[in-house]
Amino acid sequence: FKASRVETTPFDGQKPGTSGLRKKVKVFTQPNYLHNFVQSTFNALSAAKVKGATLVVSGDGRYFSKDAIQIIIKMSAANGVRRVWVGQNGLLSTPAVSAVIRERVGADGSKASGAFILTASHNPGGPHEDFGIKYNMENGGPAPEAITDKIYENTKTLKEYFIAEDLPDVDISATGITSFRGPEGEFDVDVFDSATDYVKLMKSIFDFQSIQKLLACPNFTFCYDALHGVAGAYAKPIFVDELGAQESSLINCTPKEDFGGGHPDPNLTYAKELVTRMGLNKEHPQDNPPEFGAAADGDADRNMVLGKRFFVTPSDSVAIIAANAVQAIPYFSSGLKGVARSMPTSAALDVVAKHLNLKFFEVPTGWKFFGNLMDAGLCSVCGEESFGTGSDHIREKDGIWAVLAWLSILAFRNKDNLDGKTLVTVEDIVRQHWATFGRHYYTRYDYENVDAGSAKELMAHLVKLQSSLPEVNKIIKGIQSDVSAVVKADEFEYKDPVDGSISKHQGIRYLFEDGSRLVFRLSGTGSEGATIRLYIEQYEKDSSKTGRDSQEALAPLVGVALKLSKMHEFTGRSAPTVIT
């Protein structure tokens, strides 16, 4: 093949957000749009990460992925990349990409130095929905801000890109290596099984035998919903083939380009089928829901964990995993190096860290901030309130890992109950946790697709308000006299303890005397308008008061948040789009 140089002009708005560049498909399919971003990424990397390098290219299989993969293969060839690794049919979950970068060794001993992940994660897919792309580094984690800023700068001045136009499309439906010869020598495309490396890694972390015994127990029932995302490519090999679950316990596990028309977002609003099966839909009560249910998002890095008629808040989930990891998960048997959460995530993990005397970190939203801590050996388990949980086995959050972690905890707690005794349930584990550590009542309100200008005004209003706490407290007393006082209000700023880099404006915080918090952020993953996220948290230490309904317990604080922010006035919305 030849490498052609193609002239191009910059596009506005190619700034990677919380997790890569996400836009409507019709934006991505404009001539040169994807090409510009890919070339800008190549130009942002050091030459050694491109020339002669091995790159992974795959994703959650959403609409436009197959075309995008062929384009990236041709551009890689022309930019001097030595080989491109592609998961069969272009499918690799985000955690599997991270695992492949870190673990996979090619037939010739090669190792990957980075990856283009093609996903818009939990955003819907299809010709009228979203596409996305992000670059991950040699450690398997998302590119840090220094790189994403450079990519963005490059997109603003790009004049040319390189592509091997005459390279034939590669058949990515069959595994095997195809070799080509170009101006700089050989170029290979290696199509491999999407699940093998990831399954191997999971088997090295968890005690599959004990999970198998739990799943074989007649009074333990299980259900997994991939929401037609890429998790489906892992669910059968892991839950059915390895762990012996029944095939009927998998729902929506065929990956689809449009996720069956749904939002592949594992929460109580969008994972409707699972939520109903688990007995959590009041309109469709179930006689005997499964003991355990879980769902994933489009690229399978998120998880929602449910018990029978019971929802586990993600902030509690990471705290409970951390509290039980050493006993229940072989990978952690020699102890945890430390734990971390994103700022808006509840402080349930903080309490566990204190109790177990563990190093603890609070980082801005987005997984890229955990990676540095893990590379420096400072963090083993981490999580976000947005249904993201993970560990230092890779550098992304990991939906199936979280499910296996919960199954491991259940297996450990029930190891003497499997012969017909009453099982310790998901709900029992959570309630026992609250009894020991107290409960962080938590909820998140999302206002999606709000006018971007109004959203900015609301945020500016909240920042301005922070300059006078007496004023803030006067307003609060006028709304709700039994809510405690705000003692600190700021915009969250993070200094990375490893490389010293500083990230500013990471969310507006109102911190209350009793430990309650209100946090406001603008989403960095949307593709249209703005999404305002409001995070509300209240700590209850008294174990006799930890059993309340969370919306009811938080109602006074919610009222304060909505009035303080003038949510209705700025957005015109009287209710959020999604409550989790």
Q: Any idea which residues carry the catalytic annotation?
A: 121
Whether residue 281 contacts residue 207, with contact meaning beta carbons closer than 8 Å, is answered with no
| Pairwise CA distance, residues 342 & 367, whole Å | 8
Helix, strand, coil percentages for the chain (3-state, nearest 5):
35, 25, 40
206 interacts with ligand VG1 by CB under 6 A: no
Which entry of ligand VG1, Co ion, none binds 524, CB below 5 to 8 A by partner kind? ligand VG1
Return the number of the residue (30 or 269) whose C-beta is nearest ligand VG1: 269
Closest by CA to 131, choosing from 56, 89, 68, 77, is 68
Cβ neighbours of 110 (radius 10 Å): 17
Does residue 562 sit in helix, strand or coil?
helix
For residue 485, the SS3 value is coil
Minimal distance, residue 533 CB to ligand VG1, in Å: 6
Nearest distance, CB of residue 211 and ligand VG1, angstroms: 24
**Smallest separation, CB 130 to ligand VG1 (Å):** 10
Orientation angle between helical segments 399-413 and 314-328, nearest 10 degrees: 60
Question: Residues 377 to 396: which contact ligand VG1 by CB under 6 A?
Answer: 384, 386, 388
Question: Binds 19, which of Co ion, ligand VG1, none (CB < 5 to 8 A, cut-off by type)?
Answer: ligand VG1
- Residue 388 binding result from Co ion, ligand VG1, none, given CB thresholds of 5 to 8 Å by partner type: ligand VG1
According to CB under 6 A, which residues from 488 to 527 bind ligand VG1? Answer: 523-525
- Give the nearest distance from C-beta 527 to Co ion in angstroms: 14
Give the dihedral sign, CA 303/413/202/135: positive
- What DSSP line would sit under 394-426, residue for residue? SSS--HHHHHHHHHHHHHHHTTTTTTTSPPPPH
CA–CA separation, 14 vs 345, rounded Å? 28
| Residues 321-360 contacting ligand VG1, CB under 6 A | 342
Least separation in angstroms between residue 298's CB and Co ion is 6
In the region spanning residues 259 to 298, those forming contacts with ligand VG1, defined by CB under 6 A, are: 297
Least separation in angstroms between residue 353's CB and ligand VG1 is: 19
For ligand VG1, the closer of residues 22 and 413 by Cβ is: 22
Q: Return all residues near 78 (Cβ < 8 A) that are at least 6 apart.
A: 1, 3, 4, 162, 163, 164, 182
Q: 134 by DSSP, 3-state: which?
A: strand
Q: Under the criterion CB under 6 A, does residue 40 sit at the interface with ligand VG1?
A: no
The site partner of 523 among Co ion, ligand VG1, none (C-beta below 5 to 8 Å per kind) is: ligand VG1
CA distance 74 to 63: 19
**Is 438 near ligand VG1 (CB under 6 A)?**
no
With a CB cutoff of 8 Å and minimum separation 6, the contacts of 112 are: 53, 54, 55, 56, 85, 100, 101, 104, 138
Compute the distance between CA of residue 110 and CA of residue 113 in angstroms, rounded to an integer.
Answer: 10
State the binding partner of 565 from ligand VG1, Co ion, none, CB within 5 to 8 A by kind.
none
Contact indicator for 93, 198 with CB cutoff of 8 Å: yes
Is residue 443 within the footprint of ligand VG1 (CB under 6 A)? no
> For residues 361 and 387, which CB has a smaller minimum distance to Co ion in the complex?
387
Can residue 136 be called a binding residue for ligand VG1 (CB under 6 A)?
no
Q: Does 367 bind ligand VG1 (CB under 6 A)?
A: yes
Residue pair 188/110 in contact by the 8 Å Cβ criterion: no
- Backbone angles phi and psi of 358, in degrees to 5: -105, 150
Beta carbons within 10 angstroms of residue 498's beta carbon: 13
Compose the 9-38 pattern: x for residues touching ligand VG1 by CB under 6 A, - for all others.
---------xx-------------------
Element of type H or E holding 388? strand 388-391
Q: Which of 23, 49, 102, 122 binds ligand VG1 (CB under 6 A)?
A: 122
Dihedral Cα 140, 18, 382, 494, nearest 10 deg? 110
- Taking the complex as a whole, the smallest distance from the CB of residue 456 to ligand VG1 amounts, in Å, to 15
The residue at minimum Cβ distance from ligand VG1 is 121
Please give the residue ranges that form the binding site for Co ion (CB under 5 A): 121, 297, 299, 301-302
If the CB atoms of residues 122 and 433 are measured against ligand VG1, the closer one turns out to be 122
Q: Which is nearer to ligand VG1, 289 or 507 (CB)?
A: 507
Choose from Co ion, ligand VG1, none: what does 16 bind? Cβ within 5-8 Å by kind: none
How many residues of this chain interact with ligand VG1, rule: CB under 6 A?
Answer: 18
Residue 114 or 314: the one with the smaller Cβ distance to ligand VG1 is 314
User: Does 308 sit near ligand VG1 (CB under 6 A)?
Assistant: no
**Which of 35, 302, 393, 395 touches ligand VG1 (CB under 6 A)?**
302
Give the residues lining the site for ligand VG1 (CB under 6 A). Answer: 18-19, 121-122, 297, 301-302, 342, 365-367, 384, 386, 388, 523-525, 533
